[in-house]
Amino acid sequence: MTPDSVTSRFEPVIGLEIHAQLLTDSKIFCGCATSFGAAPNTRVCPVCLGLPGALPVLNRRVVELAMRAGLALGCTIHGRSIFARKNYFYPDLPKGYQISQYEQPLATDGAMTYDTDEGSRTVRITRVHLEEDPGKSMHAGGSRSRHTSLDYNRSGVPLIEIVTEPDLRTPAAAADFFARLRAVLLAIGVNDGNMEEGSLRCDANVSLRPRGASALGVKVEIKNMNSFRFVRRALEHEVVRQEACLEAGEPVVQETRLWDEARGRTESMRSKEEAHDYRYFPEPDLPPVEVSEAWIAEVRASLPELPEARKQRFVRDYELTTAEAGQLSDETPMAEFFERTAKEAGNPKAAAHW
Ligand code: ADP
Ligand code: ZN
Ligand code: MG
């Protein structure tokens, strides 16, 4: 069967967790630069190296950018949110814990609605929370190398994690949603959309259930994909793999898998039994994040027109087809260029085609 086949007995259910780097000059809890490509370990200080006694101080701009994302995604921004420690050991995490939001995130209960070829689609947004990126491990020479190099320049780079409800139903729809979310984050100036440099990454969760069933099946999480194509291909592969399990009467095992693009398949990374117990607890070195109603209103008022609204306006005002409007509205520089050209030419249709 093909992954999008509606003739299958099973329906895919997909939810995404997307990490987006916030466009700040400095890191989330210290003054180190976030610039990409600097020589290893030259953008570090006692705070982002996790040295004993160093204390984090929250970057105000990080909160503002996260609010922009939350508001653009229709979320409620909470006046008070809490940082927590997510405890685990890894060489790229020198503190032994990642500072993240857990039980009380900055933003919750949003939704993104947009037109597709099959009509309007709404994907609910569970939450948008703040966290720091860990450093980067480089296993030079591949898996047989006996050496790992560590670069802490990324350590403490500000991220938002955007979590969706399991509202997507096909691999293609999941990749499409990811692309539209990227367009929104770019339009509001929160993320640079540079997926090759790792500033936008996606974990995809997928399960199958018999068509018509309402209960969710056992899910598999595919970690850390940095292209729309990988998301679609990994999910397609996973849908087929899970269906083969179910058809053979074997249960799907809840686990985390990794997409191997070269081999065109997912591989198990860890099972539910091996899942980390992060022992979250409130971060004692940071006070609650408090944002006033006035600040929220100010950020809301500063949001630009979003790609979906712009697309509908192009269809309405310039009599473009949805396909034309879609192509011209996604990226703000292109959209502005089109509008200027349309006005100067006095012929929007010709300008669009040109
Ligand atoms: P976990 O506790 O494993 O982190 P969550 O309930 O927090 O799981 O959900 C994480 C992501 O997985 C969300 O995007 C959510 O929509 C998605 N998800 C949860 N359950 C399922 C399921 N049964 N099938 C597909 N996706 C799911
Ligand atoms: Zn630092
Ligand atoms: Mg979770």
Count of other CB atoms within 10 angstroms of residue 140: 9
For 230-250, give one letter per residue: b (16+ CB within 10 A) or e.
bbbbbbbbbbebbbeebeeee
The answer to whether 94 and 135 are in contact (CB under 8 A) is yes
Can you give the pLDDT at residue 145? 74
Can you give the pLDDT at residue 143? 66
CA atoms in the 13 A half-sphere facing the CB of 249: 0
What does 65-113 look like in DSSP terms, one character per residue? HHHHHHHHTTPEEPSEE-EEEEE---TT-TTSEEEEE-SS-SEEEEEEE
Can you tell me the distance from the alpha carbon of 68 to that of 300, in angstroms, rounded to the nearest whole number?
7
Give distance in angstroms: CA of 167 to centre of ligand 1.
10
Is any ligand 1 atom within 6 A of the Cβ of residue 109? Answer: no
Can you give the pLDDT at residue 139? 81
**Residue ID of nearest Cα to ligand 1 atom 24:** 207
Give distance in angstroms: CA of 14 to centre of ligand 1.
8
Can you give the pLDDT at residue 2? 52
Give distance in angstroms: CA of 128 to centre of ligand 1.
15
Closest approach atom of ligand 1 to CA 217: 23
Which of 167, 219, 223 has most ligand 1 atoms within 8 Å of CB, for mutation?
219
Strand pairing of 265-271 and 80-81?
Answer: unpaired
Question: Cα dihedral sign for 315, 231, 174, 226?
Answer: negative
Vertex 13: Cα angle to 9 and 16 (nearest 5): 155
Is any ligand 1 atom within 6 A of the Cβ of residue 206? Answer: yes
- 337, two tokens: 């260029």
Can you give the pLDDT at residue 273? 78
Burial of 43 per CB tally in 10 Å (0-12, 13-18, 19+): buried
Closest approach atom of ligand 1 to CA 216: 23
- Regions of the chain where pLDDT drops below 50: 1
Give distance in angstroms: CA of 72 to centre of ligand 2.
30
Can you tell me the distance from the alpha carbon of 86 to that of 1, in angstroms, rounded to the nearest whole number?
41
Give distance in angstroms: CA of 291 to centre of ligand 3.
24
Question: Cα dihedral sign for 213, 214, 220, 226?
Answer: positive
